[in-house]
Every structure is written in structure tokens, then in C-alpha cells.
Structure 1
Amino acid sequence: MKALALYLPAFHEIPENNQWWGDGFTEWDNVKSGKSYYQGHVQPVEPIQNDYYDLSHSADIVKQIKLAQSYSISGFIMYHYWFSQDKQLFTKPAKLLRNQIKEKIEYAFCWANESWITTWHGKDPNTLIEQTYGPASEWRSHIEYLHTFFEDERYIKINGHPLLFIYKPNNIPDYENMLDFWNTVLAKKGMESVYAVEFISSKNRTLFSQKTNAVVEFEPLYTTYFDLPLVKTAKRAFAKLTKQIDFQDYDILWRKILQRQRTYSGKPIFKSCFVSWDNSPRKEKNSMIVKGATAAKFQSYLSQLVSSDRPYTRDDYLIINAWNEWSEGAFLEPSKQYGYDYLQAVKNAL
């Protein structure tokens, strides 16, 4: 089984962020804004050796690839922000990987198909960019773009089919027709159809389409939405209503993951998990913090997940949230606070 880590490409400057949040803004600004809300709360987290990298530089991406490979991370699932044929964001890291970087690394995309709304730092909700889907001409532009990556021998194929995760398939008005259209275009180019994987979470609560090839449960938000008892669910709702921090227990969430037997009409399930979770740098007191995480626990639970025998789970890839979601507390990359412990946990577990 190979480990793939979700990968956030937002650690570089773009004009849109400069306009919305101020000149020079990158995701590191969110990370640095972290505050400690209780005794022992580790915030702000800091990359080891002050490595506030810039993903518009190929050398920084190469460094990440070499680090991942040295700790048994086989590849990245890169978030893909395609809002329309006229609007895409954070494309530079993927383009650098496709066009310039030669290092061997497996990768695939997750289309994060949702509108961007100003929910960070207690701001009133306002739409920054609306996610649109458009007619067939829009679909063609999108699949033509994706095809340039699918041609890369490093892009992950499942029995020859390019792997593509979709965050909210239920939001796509003509999802099945879009897939059919995409696959027709790919066939004319001599390529196999897309291997489409639905994210299952509170945003997409069950299998949306039989034309989807597989599913993956987005952790820990899947477990906190579906698997907590009624009392804890009520406490979560009260915390959100009163804008208090929603505290969850690391061990409880992981036990729910390991005990799960839910299936999805016989569709294959990618095993999935999370490193830890603390999105207070983004959401402040309207956040969720999972307490009790350690690298030793992560290694133990990950080992159990790898060897578990839940029905319909695939045995080729394991999905970890995440490589570098620093503002959500879900990161494998080395930090001043935890060193290389979580990376070593992955290597040991596998």
C-alpha cells in the first residue's frame, strides 16, 4: 500500500490574494496568525528551520518531493482550483511539476469545486469567487487542461485510467453528462476514461452517482459529522452557535475510523485518515481542535488502518490529510514543535 498525501498549493503569492488580504499574502500568513487559546495549545506552529517555502519556485517543490520520498510518501493529491475556463487559481506548482521538475513522484488532482467565501478570521460571509460549471465548451476547456497532466507518466493511473478526486460532485448540475463528455474527449486522444473518486463528507453525504468509480471519506470531518453520538453532535452545534471552540478527542475519532464498516453500493473505498486537526489559525474561536494527537498514536492507528479488512477497501493507496495543511493542523511536514516525528510515523507504519 502506498501513501498519498493531500497537498495544498496555496503557499505562494497570487494577485487575487493581494487584492483580498493585502500585498504579499500567502497561506503562511494564516499559519503565522495562530494564537494559543489554552494552556498547552501549540500555536502558532512553525516549519522547521524557518522553512517558509514558496511554491512558485521549483527548487522548493523538489525539496518537498525528496523529503516525501525519504519517508515513504509515494505521492501527492494536489488541490485543483478550476472555477471556470477563465478563472483558475494556484496553478503554478502543478505547472512547474509538469513542465520543469523531473523528479519521480506520483501525483493526481482533487478538484476542490466550491465557491470561495470570506469565512476566515470572523469576517462576514462574502463570495470572493463563484464556482461555475457551464456548458460543454467549458467542460472541453477543463478536460483539455487536465489531459496535459494525464499525459505525464507520473500522473496516477488506475489500470490505465487517470485518477481524479472530486470534492463536491453533488454540486455539479450535469455531473454524469460531464463525465461522459470528458471520457469521449479522452477516448479521441487515445486515453482511458477518468477514474472519478467522490469525497464523502458533510458536503457530499453518500455516493452521488453510479458513474463514479470509487469514494474516499474526508477525515476528520467525515467522522465528526457522521460517527459521533447524539450528545457530542449537540455539543458541536452549540459550540458553533455560540462561536466557541469545538473540541474533539483524537483517540475517539481514530477508533471510529478503524471500526467503520459503511459501504457505498459496492464501490471501492480508498482508506483515508488524518494527521491531526486544529483550524484555529483560520477560524479563531469558531474552529475545531482535536486534542490528544501524538506521532506515536498516529503511527499505531495508521498501522492498524493499513492492515484493516473493511469491505470494499482498495489495497493500493492510502490517503492522508495532509502534507501541508498547516492552518488546519493537518500536516506531515517537519515543524519546530514536532520535528520529523509524523513523517517517521508514516515510514514506520508502512
Structure 2
Amino acid sequence: MGKKVLAVHLPAFHEIPENNKWWGDGFTEWTNVKSGKPLFKGHYQPMKPKDDYYYDLSNVNDLKYQAEIAKKYNVYGFIFYHYWFGNGRMLFEKPAEMLLNNPDIDINYCFSWANQTWITTWHGRDPETLLEQLYPGEQDWKQHFDYWEKFFKDERYIKVDNKPMLYIYNPSEIPNYDKMIEYFDMRCKEAGFAGIYTVEYIYPRNPKLFSKKSDAVYEFEPRYSLFFDISKFNLLKRFIIKKLKMTDYQSFDKIWSYILNRKRTYDSKTIISGAFSGWDNSARKGKESMIVKGKTVPKFKKYFEKFYTSDRENISEEFCVINAWNEWSEGAYLEPDDKDGFGYLEAIKEVVDKYND
């Protein structure tokens, strides 16, 4: 039995009052996507969904369609970004809640708590705090778990050994992190589970395993490779490019070579390996963006097959993760576009089918 392919899911493709206030009426993630402009000859911008399908994730039928094509092409489940800022303050909770309330939608899922303060960083605006990430303490842990519990009890919610799987984006920023995880673990056991299964993101902001309480780590690509695996000279070069507000060009093939040849371990923790389909956040950041050049469907299929069958030490035999299902503004998506159609999804399906016959 091969691994289950999970894809990071961005729920920001629908209007919310906060975005209308911050960015103008009618703003959704598609607004960013449509603003993309080519920076060089042959640069695929703006990126466009196939058949101009600019879906609305406040519409249950659009969510159903995502689930249908994910299932068809062997994407086992979505990792929904979950925005909880403390004291019950959330954003973009509607798609996951619609999924919960529509048990006929056939897709597995779990949460990634994207715990970070929101600031203005798009389109050249000076940094300004939009919504601060707060950590009020134990009462907030209770309120947070009370919200999660109904999702955890959903049979579609992904579990490992009867433990609900929870990704945490910035564990090192959370005060009393270990006590919080112990509390969630206790509450899970009270709810009839074997505990909670926490997965730490590993990327530049979290450069190493933060807590022994975490069950696994997730290598968040391509940011992981472009911080930990490149030479010190190239890391310095990237730093200078950023300071000069220039475009940071990187190689699709080189990043994949880092992913496929990695040997790093984390105190014997399970490693949920990360992959990516592409990267180009120029729709958000213009000339101050990072663009990974050279991606094609045949290359992705070749690299993904090696990734999928990796026998690296401590690697999870059950899951692997692709960044992302629908990060269109960052050029990291599997959904069909007007350039490659269903090519990336077809590549995943062919590889998974090959090793699950």
C-alpha cells in the first residue's frame, strides 16, 4: 500500500468583511491572482484556472467539485489552513465548516493552524498589522479545542492510530507549547481518541525540531530547501537580492534535487516529507518575488515518483504532503490551469496507481 497524498488547502477564495475593509469590496484571493504581470519573456502570468473557473469557496458546490477532482486524481485529503487568532477570532472558517456540515462530500481532511500575525506585505505596501495573533492562555486552549472537537469526531478527519492529526505552523511562537499539547492530548482522550497527533512545520522560521511533544515534522517546500540546503554563498546571495528588492530566481530542478537527496533527521521523529508543484509569488509581490523557473509536467512526474517511493530514514510510510492544492498567488497549485490542464493531477494519479495496484 502506497502513501496517502495530502495537499495544503487555502480557504481564502471567498469574500469576508475583513478583506473588503482592508483591500476593497469584492476582494478574494482571485483578486491577487488576476493582478499578476509577466516579468520576462515566456513568464506565465497571470495564472488562470482552466475554463476561467474562478470558484467561490462559500459555495458548497465549488467545494464539492474540489473534493471530486482530488478523489479522482488520488489526492487523499486536504490540509486546511486554520486561522485562529485567540479568543475565538477566526478567518476563512466557512469552507471547513461547510465540509463538516455536508457529510456527502467525499474527501478526507485535517487542519494546519496557521498561527501568525497578519500584516500588509502585498503589492509593495509598508508593513502594517491587520490582525494580531494572540495567545490568551488556558481558557483559549479550551475554547479552541471545543471548536475542533466536532471536526475531530468526523470520520473524514484524518487520524493516525486513532489520534486526530494537527499541523502547527509556528510552534516556537506559542507560549507554554508543551502544556498546550498536553491539554489537547488529554481532551482528545476524554473524547474517545488515543490522543492528538501534532506535526511541526520545519522551515526558516522554525529551523529545527521545537518540542519533544510533537509526533512528527513536516518539511515545508520550497522554502525548506531554499534555506537549509543551499550553500552559504547562495543563502547570502538571496539575502542581498531581498535587501535590494530584486526578483529571486530559483531552479525547479535544483530544489527537487535537494528534496530527493536529503538525509536529515530530527531526533528520530517521523518525517512527513514535503513536495511542491511550483512557486511564483509575483502576483502578490511583483518584482520583489521569488520565482522558481523550469517546471514542467514531465519533470514533476519524474521527481514525484522518486519522492513518493523514498525510503529515507524515519520517513512516514503513510503520508506525504504537496504544497499546495490551490496557492494560486504563490504559483503552488495542483488544480487545472489553462496552460497545463490537469497535467499535475494526472501525474500524481499515474504514480499512485502504479504503486497501489
Q: Which bracket does the TM-score occupy, shorter chain normalised?
A: over 0.9
Distance 1:319 1:227 in 2: 19
Task: Give the one of 27, 31, 34 matched to 1:32.
Answer: 34
Q: Give me the whole-angstrom Cα distance separating, in 1, the residues matched to 2:78 and 2:135.
A: 25
Measured against aligned partners, the alpha-carbon deviations of 1:37-62 in whole angstroms (never above 9, x if no partner) come to: 00010000101111000000110000
Instruction: Note the aligned Cα RMSD (angstroms).
Output: 0.8
Paired residue for 1:23? 25
Please give the per-residue CA displacement for 1:179-214, whole angstroms capped at 9, x wherever unaligned: 111222222222221100000000111000001000
**Map of 2:223 onto structure 1:** 221
CA distance in 2, matches of 1:129, 1:314: 35
The separation in 1 between residues aligned to 2:231 and 2:62, in whole angstroms, is 43
Partner of 1:102: 104
| Aligned AA (2:270) | P
Give the number of equivalent residue pairs.
Answer: 350
In the TM superposition, 1:134-283 aligns within 5 A as 134-283=136-285
1:306, distance to aligned residue in structure 2 (A): 1.2
Cα deviation per residue 1:268-322 (whole Å; 9 max; x = unaligned)? 0012100000001111111100000001101000000111111000111110000
**TM-score normalized by the length of structure 2:** 0.97
SS in 2 for 1:349: helix
Corresponding residue of 2:355:
none
The one-letter code sitting in structure 2 at the alignment partner of 1:88 is: M
**Is this contact kept in 2: 1:183–1:194, CA < 8 A?**
yes
State how 1:273-312 maps to structure 2 within 5 Å: 273-312=275-314
Structure 2 unmatched ranges of 5 or more: 353-357
Cα distance in structure 1, aligned partners of 2:145 and 2:109: 17
Which residue is equivalent to 2:12?
Answer: 10
The 2-side partners of 1:186 and 1:305 are apart by: 33
Match of 1:64 in 2: 66
Contact 2:88-2:144 within 8 A present in 1 as well: no
Aligned residue type for 2:199: V
Residue in 1 that maps onto 2:315: 313
| 1:64-123 Cα shifts (integer Å, max 9, x gaps) | 110111111111000000001231000000000001241221101000000001001110
Secondary structure of residue in 1 paired with 2:224? helix
* Paired residue secondary structure (2:257): helix
Q: Partners of 1:146 and 1:8 in 2: how far apart?
A: 18
Could you tell me whether the CA contact under 8 Å between 1:62 and 1:101 is conserved in 2?
Answer: no
Q: For 1:222, give the aligned amino acid.
A: Y
| 1:231 Cα offset (Å) | 2.3
Distance 2:312 2:98 in 1: 38
Give the secondary-structure state (helix, strand or coil) at the position aligned to 1:215. Answer: strand
Structure 2 residue 332 is the aligned partner of structure 1 residue 330: yes
Q: Is there any run of 5+ residues in structure 1 with no aligned partner, and where?
A: none
Deviation at 1:254, TM superposition (A): 0.3
SS in 1 for 2:193: coil
Amino acid at match of 1:164: L
Amino acid across the alignment from 2:183: F
Name the aligned partner's letter for residue 161 of structure 2.
N
Q: Distance in 2 between matches of 1:41 and 1:313?
A: 35
Give SS of 1:141's match: helix
The alignment partner of 2:283 has SS state of helix
Contact 1:300 1:349 in 2 (8 A): no
Q: Counterpart of 1:73?
A: 75
Q: Which amino acid aligns with 2:233?
A: V
SS in 2 for 1:190: coil
Amino acid in structure 2 at the alignment position of 1:214: A
Give the structure-1-normalised TM-score. Answer: 0.99
Give a deviation string over 1:228-272, Cα, whole Å, max 9, x none: 112221221111011100000010100011000000000000121
Please give the alpha-carbon distance, in whole angstroms, between the structure 1 residues aligned to 2:216 and 2:23: 37
Residue 343 of structure 1 corresponds to: 345
SS in 2 for 1:310: coil
SS in 1 for 2:112: strand
Shift of 1:215: 0.3
Letter of the 1:320 partner, please give it. Answer: I
User: C-alpha offsets along residues 128-163 of structure 1, whole Å, 9 cap, x if unaligned?
Assistant: 011111121110000111111000000000000000
CA contact (8 A) 1:3 1:318 kept: yes
Does the 8 Å CA contact 2:170/2:205 hold for their aligned counterparts? yes
* 1:7 shift after superposition: 0.3
Partner letter of residue 12 of structure 1? H
